[in-house]
Amino acid sequence: MIPRDQQERCRALVSEAAAGLLDPQGRDLAVRVQWWPLAGLPGEWPVATLGEGPPLLLLHGFDSSFLEFRRLAPRLAASHRLFIPDLHGFGFTPRPAAGPYGPAPVLDHLERLLAAIEERHGDVGRSRDGSEGGVGLIGASMGGAVAVELARRRPGSISRLLLLAPAGLTGRPMPLPPLLDALGVRFLALPTVRRGLCRSAFADPDSDVGPPELEIASLHLQAPRWAEALAAFARSGGFAGCGAPLPPQPLEVLWGAQDRILRPPQKRAVLALLGERVRELQNCGHLPHIDQPHTVAAAWLRQPVTPS
């Protein structure tokens, strides 16, 4: 069960974001959040829904929220029906006290969300000319590993993938032991640490990171049981080694040349796995959908890149 006051607090945080975020694109996206009941899960789950056309599911990264896609969503909504959830245990989702938290609940939640999308929007599985079925999938950072796992689980539901600086495709899970997980979460909650992490995600933080970005990077920390859920996820080992075997759907990867979040050995391992599927973007950090939303949109729409 989800305590009523916890669910109400999650809703209130999103409503406050819709009314008062410094970033106008963040406000616009928060307005689009709906709260969906999902069969087999307690409570109601946030998913920003906007646009018209073939369905496209966008998955955010570790310790983030749907607001990560505030700059990309307007560029895709004219041609796609967008579904942007918070991943299980992250963002503004309800967090049951008993858990569980880790990769399995994240994927279970998304499979139930796919079922709800198909039930609510049965006609969105086809493009306007009727030629393409299935849901498109864009995953950023850890969301890239989640996208690959989901595509393998639901090959008949997912049409193609675009991964943005994917994390977790290689390596092996490294669970944090008790005490260390709690210490790590306390460390992540420190304002100076949040500011440093936010700045390190951008190619040019001196010009691109200000109060609006810092506000969005920390807003979800106010969600009930944020610390407990994040610590439990750390104990699970998270997503790692998810890239092999690659799913059968068409797959493309965009990676920022100035990515300072993923270390060079991680990037080399991913390049060895994905090869020519990877395209490196200059003047771009760990968040292509924030640094260069026009490039990401053009890649998905298979259009020439036009300046932002």
Residues 288 and 278: their CA atoms lie apart, in Å, by: 13
pLDDT given for residue 75 in this prediction: 97
Structural domains in the chain, sorted by start? 4-301 (3.40.50.1820)
pLDDT given for residue 307 in this prediction: 61
pLDDT mean for each 10 residues of the chain (308 residues) = 91 98 98 96 96 96 98 97 98 92 97 93 50 84 97 94 96 82 89 95 95 97 96 94 94 95 88 93 96 97 75
pLDDT given for residue 130 in this prediction: 39
pLDDT given for residue 126 in this prediction: 44
Residue whose structure tokens are 């009941």: 37
pLDDT given for residue 92 in this prediction: 98
pLDDT given for residue 265 in this prediction: 87
pTM above threshold 0.75 = yes
pLDDT given for residue 231 in this prediction: 94
Count of alpha carbons within 13 Å of 136, Cβ hemisphere only? 22
pLDDT given for residue 124 in this prediction: 47
Q: Concatenate the DSSP letters of all residues of the chain into one string.
A: ---HHHHHHHHHHHHHHHHH-SSHHHHHHHHTEEEEE-TTSSSEEEEEEE--SSEEEEE--TT--GGGGTTTHHHHTTTSEEEEEPPTTSTT----TT---SHHHHHHHHHHHHHHHHHH-TTTTB-TTS--BSEEEEEETHHHHHHHHHHHH-TTTEEEEEEES--SSSS---PPPTTHHHHHHHHHHSHHHHHHHHHHTSSSHHHH-SHHHHHHHHHGGGSTTHHHHHHHHHHHT-S-S--SSPPSS-EEEEEETT--SS-HHHHHHHHHHHGGGEEEETT--S-HHHH-HHHHHHHHHT------
pLDDT given for residue 180 in this prediction: 73
